[in-house]
Structure 1
C-alpha cells in the first residue's frame, strides 16, 4: 500500500502523455536584409513578438538558381516558404528567450511593452516579383530591438495569402 501511494505521489507531478502543448499564434513574413531577404515565423505571445528565421534567401525562378524558389502551385500558402528543418527547432525554444535568440543570429524578440505602433501598410512591396503578398505589418518600437540590424522599426512583408486584420488582432489592434 505504501508503495502504491508513493507511486501515485511521484506520478502526480508528471503531465499526461497526451497533454497538449500549445504554441503561440504566428504569421509568416519576409524581411529584406540589405541585398538579400529572410523568411520569419513570427510568434505573438502575451508579452513578446518572437521572430524566428525559418528560411534564407527566397528568389524568383532564374537560371542562376540563387536561393529557394517556391513553386507556383503552392506560393499562395505561407507555410510553403518555411524550411521545415529550421522551423522545427523552435518548438522547444519558445519558453526560453535566450536560447531562442541564440538559435540563429537573425532571430530577434520585441517586447510588447516597447511597441509604440503596429499597423498594416497595404501597399505592394517593390521587388517581390510574382510572389503574392498582402502588404506589410509595420511595427514601431520605443527602444531599439537588440540583435542584428538593431532598429526601432520593423517591416514584415506578408507573403502568400494571409489576412492582415487577423494578424493585427494578435497585437490587440483592431
Structure 2
C-alpha cells in the first residue's frame, strides 16, 4: 500500500502535531487503514510569527504556517509527503526513511482519550484540543488536532476496530 494510491477522506485520516523535547514539534498526516495507524511526518518545526528583533522575526516567519489555518492540510508540506508517496507504508520502510514516521497496530491501542483543552504554546493556530493514544505496552502519544477537525470524533474513530 502506497500513499499515492490512497484517497484521503475525512473517514481515513487526520492531521495533528506532536510536541517533543518540550517545545519542539512535528506535524503528521495520520492514516487509519488495514489495521494500522500510519504516521507520516508532513512538516518540521512550526512557529507563530513574531519576535522582538529583525533576525528573530525572519527566522520564525520561515516556520510559520501560511494560508487557511482552519484547513488541516495547510499544515503539511508537499516536499515531506512526496518523499514517501511511492513507499510501501506497511512493510517498515516508511520508518527507515524517517525515524519520526510510525506504524501502530490498531489492535495494540488500549485507549484514545480526547482532551478539549487548548495546548500551551499553540498561539493563534486553531486546534481542537488533543488526542492521547495509549497502547497495551503503556506507551502514550499526544496529538494536537490541527485546524477544523473534531478531536472527539478522531478519538472515537481511532477506537473503532
* TM norm. shorter chain > 0.5: yes
Alignment deviations for residues 31-71 of structure 1 (CA, whole Å, 9 cap, x no partner): 00113100000111131111111100000002142352112
Indicate the residue corresponding to 1:125 in structure 2.
119
- 1:40 corresponds in structure 2 to 28
Instruction: Give the corresponding residue for 1:149.
Output: none
1:16-36 deviation line (CA, Å, top 9, x unaligned): xxxx94346210000001131
Q: Which residue of 2 aligns with 1:53?
A: 41
Bigger radius of gyration: 1
Runs of 4+ in 1 over 4 A off after TM superposition: none
Deviations 1:97-153 (A, max 9, x none): 311111211111111111110121111111111110000111011126xxxxxxx00
Give the match for residue 80 of structure 1: 74
- Per the alignment, residue 22 of structure 1 pairs with 6
SS at match of 1:97: coil
Please say which of residues 158-167 and 37-46 is displaced more in the overlay.
Answer: 158-167
Structure 1: 5+ residue runs without aligned partners?
Answer: 1-19, 145-151
Distance 1:103 1:23 in 2: 22
Query: Gapped runs of 5+ residues in structure 2?
Result: 51-56
| SS of match in other structure, 1:65 | helix
Q: Does 1:68 align with 2:68?
A: no
Whose relative contact order is higher, 1 or 2, with alpha carbons under 8 Å and at least 6 apart?
A: 2
CA RMSD of aligned residues (A): 2.3
C-alpha distance 95-49 of structure 1, shift in aligned 2 (>3 A): same
Q: TM-score scaled to structure 1, two decimals? A: 0.75
From 138, 155, 158, the counterpart of 1:168: 155
- The number of residues matched between the two structures is 147
Decide whether the 8 Å contact of 1:23 with 1:91 is kept in 2.
no
